[in-house]
Amino acid sequence: MTASAAPQQRIKAKKRPGDQIFSGSTVFAGSLILVILAAVAIFLIAESLPAFTASADDIGIEAGNFWTYVGPLVFGTLWAAALALLMALPVAIGIALFISHYAPRRVASTLGYIIDLLAAVPSVVFGLWGIKVLAPLVLPAYDWLNTNLGWFPLFSGQVSGTGRTILTVAIVLAVMILPIITAICREVFLQTPRLHEEAALALGATRWEMIQTAVLPFGRPGIISAAMLGLGRALGETMAVAMVLSPSVIVSFFLLTSQNPTTIAANIALNFPEAHDIGINVLLATGLVLFVITFAVNAVARIVINRRKAFSGAN
Partner 1 sequence: MTTITAPASLTSGRLPRYSALGILLASWVIVGIVFLLLMMSGAMGEFSLVGTIFFGTILYAVAIGVLSMIVEGSRQARDRLMTALVLSAFILALLPLISLLWTTISAGLPRFDITFFSQSMRNVVGDQPGGALHAIVGTLLVTGAATIISVPIGLLTAIYLVEYGRGRLARAITFLIDVMTGIPSIVAGLFAFALFALLFDSPGIRFGIGGSVALSVLMIPTVVRSCEEMLKLVPNELREASYALGVPKWLTISKVVLPTSIAGITTGIMLAISRVIGETAPLLIIAGFTQSMNYDLFKERMMTLPVFVYTQYANPGSDPQINLDRAWAGALTLILIVMVLNLLARLIARVFAPKIAR
User: Which 68-97 positions form the footprint of partner 1 (CB under 8 A)?
Assistant: 90-95, 97
Task: Report the distance separating Cα 78 and Cα 291, nearest Å.
Answer: 13
Q: Is 222 in the site for partner 1 (CB under 8 A)?
A: no
CB of 40 to partner 1, least distance (A): 4
Q: Is 276 in the site for partner 1 (CB under 8 A)?
A: yes
| C-alpha dihedral sign at 169, 171, 175, 177 | positive
Task: Report the distance separating Cα 253 and Cα 266, nearest Å.
Answer: 18
Q: Is 280 in the site for partner 1 (CB under 8 A)?
A: yes
Closest CA to 305 of 213, 193, 230: 230
Residues 105-122 as b or e (16 or more Cβ within 10 Å = b):
eeebeebbeebeeeeeee
CB of 165 to partner 1, least distance (A): 17
Residues 3-22 contacting partner 1, CB under 8 A: 16, 18-19, 21-22
Task: Report the distance separating Cα 40 and Cα 28, nearest Å.
Answer: 18
Q: From residue 99 to residue 138, what is the string marking binding to partner 1 with x (rule CB under 8 A)?
A: x--x--------x-xxx-xx-xxxxxxxxxx-xxxx--x-
Residues 181-200 contacting partner 1, CB under 8 A: 182
Q: Is 53 in the site for partner 1 (CB under 8 A)?
A: no
The DSSP call for residue 245 is: -
The alpha carbon of 249 is separated from its chain's Cα centroid by a whole number of angstroms, namely 22
CA–CA distances in Å: residue 237 to residues 52, 167, 292: 24, 15, 15
Q: Is 223 in the site for partner 1 (CB under 8 A)?
A: no
Q: From residue 225 to residue 254, what is the string marking binding to partner 1 with x (rule CB under 8 A)?
A: ----x--xx-xxxxx---x-----------
CB of 157 to partner 1, least distance (A): 26
Q: Which of 50, 52, 224, 302 binds partner 1 (CB under 8 A)?
A: 302
HSE value, Cβ hemisphere, 13 Å, CA-based, for 31: 6
Q: Which of 28, 144, 152, 253 binds partner 1 (CB under 8 A)?
A: 28
> Which stretch, 29-37, 65-73, 143-151, 253-261, contacts partner 1 (CB under 8 A)?
29-37
Q: Is 43 in the site for partner 1 (CB under 8 A)?
A: yes
